[in-house]
């Protein structure tokens, strides 16, 4: 129940983000989620894509610094307090969240959240049998 996240180191220069998204689009890579964290000089673009290995290959071929990490995707009730309930399960099992962001999915009753924890495989094991609904990579694209 893990998914691959692509992280791309990019300079804060006009056109860099457009270049990356154009390259992925021309390669037939569909992005379901993205998040960018930046400083004055550079940013880290995080992407959930349907074909992460192809995305990594194409980006590297075009000179981009890329890495792939495993993240946990969960579905939460799309209501006030839905995310808080899910995060309580993480906290109750001693799982430290490094960062998280929203993932676009077509389901009016749920929100999808991508979460990076220090030990993603351990997190999945600790969350099995809880009220947290873990999603597979395939779930994100169906």
CATH number of 70-141: 3.30.70.260
What is the rounded distance in angstroms from the CA atom of residue 112 to the CA atom of residue 42? 27
Mean pLDDT of 44-65: 97
CB contact at 8 A, 49 and 33: no
Q: What angle do CA 103, 89, 136 make, to 5 degrees?
A: 40
Q: Is the pLDDT of residue 70 over 80?
A: yes
pLDDT band at residue 13, thresholds of 50, 70 and 90?
confident
Position 35 scores a pLDDT of 95
Model pLDDT for residues 91-140, shown as the tens digit of each residue: 999 999 999 999 987 777 889 999 999 999 999 999 988 889 999 999 99
Question: Considering Cα of 75, then 78, then 82, then 84, what sign does the dihedral take?
Answer: positive
Look at residue 123 in the predicted model and tell me its pLDDT: 93
Residues of the chain with CATH 3.30.2130.10: 2-68
Q: Which pLDDT value is given to residue 52?
A: 97
Q: Please, what's the b/e burial string for 3-36 (b: 16 or more CB within 10 A of its CB; e: otherwise)?
A: bbbbbbebeeeeebbeebeebbeebebebbbbbe
Q: Which CATH code is given to the segment(s) 2-68? A: 3.30.2130.10
Q: For 31-45, what is the mean pLDDT?
A: 90
- State the average pLDDT over residues 61-77: 95
**Percent above pLDDT 70 for the chain:** 100
What value does the mean pLDDT of the chain take?
A: 93
> pLDDT, tens digit, for every residue of 19-37?
999 999 999 999 999 999 9
Give span(s): CATH 3.30.70.260, the chain.
70-141
On the CB side of 103, CA atoms within 13 Å amount to 31
């Amino acid at each position: 129940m893990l998914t691959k996240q692509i992280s791309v180191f990019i300079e804060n220069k006009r056109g860099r983000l457009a270049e990356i998204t154009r390259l992925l689009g021309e390669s037939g890579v569909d992005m379901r989620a993205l998040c960018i964290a930046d400083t004055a000089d550079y940013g880290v673009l995080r992407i959930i894509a349907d074909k992460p290995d192809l995305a990594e290959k194409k980006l590297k071929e075009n000179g981009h610094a890329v890495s792939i990490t495993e993240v946990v995707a969960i579905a939460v009730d799309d209501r006030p307090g839905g995310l808080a309930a899910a995060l309580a399960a993480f906290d109750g099992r001693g799982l430290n969240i490094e960062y998280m962001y929203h993932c676009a999915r077509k389901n009016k009753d749920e929100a999808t959240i991508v979460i990076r924890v220090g030990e993603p495989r351990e997190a999945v094991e600790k969350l099995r049998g809880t009220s947290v609904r873990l999603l597979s990579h395939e779930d994100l694209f169906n």
